[in-house]
Copies of this chain bind each other. A is one copy, B any other.
Amino acid sequence: MTPHMTPSQFREYGRLVVDWIADYYEQIETYPVLSQVKPGEIRAGLPANPPAQGEPFPDILADVNTLLPGITHWQSPNFFAYFPANASGPAILGDLLSSGLGVQGMLWATSPAATELETHVLDWLVDMLGLPQKFKGNGVLQDTASSASLTALLAARERATNYQTNKQGCDGKLTAYTSTQTHSSVEKAMGIAGMGRANLRLIPTDENFAMRVDALAARVAEDRAAGLTPCFVTATIGTTSSNALDPIRAIGEFCRAEGLWLHVDAAMSGTAALCPEFRYTHDGVELADSYLFNPHKWMFTNFDCNVFFVADHTALINTLSILPEYLKNQATQSGAVYDYRDWHIQLGRRFRSLKLWFVIRHYGVEGLQYHVRQHVALAQQFADWVRAHPDFELAAPAPLNLVCFRHKAGDAFNRALLDNLNQSGELYLTHTVLDGKFTLRMCIGQTNTEERHVRAAWEKICQLAGALA
């Protein structure tokens, strides 16, 4: 039998892994950004059966190299696809400590420091982002924006039905509202919550892909007239497709007047609010009932780390709490503590705030601001190059760090251009469709992306476009 790894072995093997990661970052630009393997290729290289006896750790680590061709390198400075999931040294090491401590923070009592550090760091973030003070003491870390948006929807569902849906089940008459550009997670959440995807209204947008409040108001009125119960609106600060900015204040005023729960999804662009000059994107956020952003996208904190604020956390507790005998304890019954298990879907939870604490302390507020400004400046430079080129055009405003653009030669040309770019291995871009046209997305937010990477990307785009033409 194989004994447990001793602390002294852990010291030795831990160094090997730390060095492996450092080597990886030193070499990362030599790999094709998008994995080029065929389906099944990685699996075919793995042994059919698990080993009967344990294997030496260095052998296990060496085999990670056999996986490398199947890795799409999200941490490459040439990764411009989707939204980033940018990591950093302090985040990785904070997460390592979380794994090492191995605490399970479902209740305050099961590790008070895990709960209290989380509350504290989230209160820091309220000030760092210029968010309303009402969010203090009302923040919780979730895994992803999908989970947080689902949680917001559930709380709204319950508030609208006096906490009866939770008990009796849905009646199919609650309606919710997003723009046509809102992230697909809200539609998924409508299905999960038993409210029905068909009861999500996709409100049309203006020429900048921002939600039209007049159209929202008209649809809510129509639904009320039909005997339905509108309860939930998601507004987005920086949509996934084009980084569009919904008018939070106007939507918020409407929601207040109508008694609708306003959820603000700033998954990507919340990070921009670190910088006062970008806080205009958040104008009206004090009208929100809930708000989320993802440090695991653009704040150098490795996945997963979603920050979720509500105006009143009792709405979450009233929706999600169950207290079986085996979880009862004196601290919970005193009412003096937060038990975060009642603030999300899961029961168990990692000590996830450690990595966020490490990131904020490593960079400081000014360091984080600096790097965010750099990314925005690089994206704006890229947008200028697009504007100045006779064959390319911008497909949407580029307020922050995402540039949507296309070649003027049409969809087939742009598809071919994208495929060629990604097959080159030199960079990785993804696409969307805007105004019915196939559009390339250049998102700049990777930790180690510098001006030279963005310049090389633009040169490659122009070169391949020229070759295709």
Q: Residues of B contacting A17 with CB < 8 Å?
A: 93, 96-97, 100
In the assembled complex, the Cα of A331 lies from the Cα of B199 at a distance in Å of 31
Is A226 an interface residue when CB atoms closer than 8 A count as contact? no
**Beyond A35-B111, A95-B99, A102-B74, is A60–B7 a contact (Cβ under 8 Å)?**
no
Is A405 an interface residue when CB atoms closer than 8 A count as contact? no
Within the complex, what minimum Cβ distance (angstroms) separates A5 from chain B? Answer: 3
**Beyond A54-B363, A120-B46, A326-B441, is A348–B303 a contact (Cβ under 8 Å)?**
yes
Given A20-B100, A92-B96, A102-B303, 5 additional A-B pairs, CB 8 A: A11-B22, A18-B96, A61-B93, A67-B117, A157-B194
* Contact status A188-B320, CB under 8 Å: yes
Q: Residues of B contacting A37 with CB < 8 Å?
A: 112-113
**Beyond A60-B361, A326-B432, is A49–B101 a contact (Cβ under 8 Å)?**
no
**Beyond A326-B82, A367-B53, is A39–B337 a contact (Cβ under 8 Å)?**
yes
* Contact status A364-B54, CB under 8 Å: yes
Residue of B nearest to A158 (CB): B191
Interface residues of A in 223-240 (CB under 8 A from B): 240
Is A388 an interface residue when CB atoms closer than 8 A count as contact? no
Within the complex, what minimum Cβ distance (angstroms) separates A303 from chain B? Answer: 6
The answer, among B21, B69, B167, B365, for a CB contact under 8 Å with A51, is B365
Interface residues of A in 390-430 (CB under 8 A from B): 430
Is A302 an interface residue when CB atoms closer than 8 A count as contact? yes
In the assembled complex, the Cα of A399 lies from the Cα of B29 at a distance in Å of 54
Is A165 an interface residue when CB atoms closer than 8 A count as contact? yes
Complex interface bits, A265-290 against B, C-beta within 8 A gives 1, otherwise 0: 00000000000000000000000000
In the assembled complex, the Cα of A347 lies from the Cα of B294 at a distance in Å of 13
Is A172 an interface residue when CB atoms closer than 8 A count as contact? yes
The answer, among B110, B170, B187, B369, for a CB contact under 8 Å with A194, is B170
The answer, among B13, B18, B72, B85, for a CB contact under 8 Å with A11, is B18
Interface residues of A in 319-348 (CB under 8 A from B): 319-320, 322-329, 331, 334, 336-337, 345-348
Is A241 an interface residue when CB atoms closer than 8 A count as contact? yes
* Contact status A21-B362, CB under 8 Å: no
The answer, among B75, B103, B109, B346, for a CB contact under 8 Å with A102, is B75
* Contact status B370-A1, CB under 8 Å: yes
In the assembled complex, the Cα of A92 lies from the Cα of B329 at a distance in Å of 29
Is A30 an interface residue when CB atoms closer than 8 A count as contact? no
Q: Residues of B contacting A325 with CB < 8 Å?
A: 241, 431-433
Residue of B nearest to A105 (CB): B72
Complex interface bits, A123-146 against B, C-beta within 8 A gives 1, otherwise 0: 010011000000000000001111
Is A435 an interface residue when CB atoms closer than 8 A count as contact? no
Within the complex, what minimum Cβ distance (angstroms) separates A246 from chain B? Answer: 17
Residue of B nearest to A2 (CB): B367
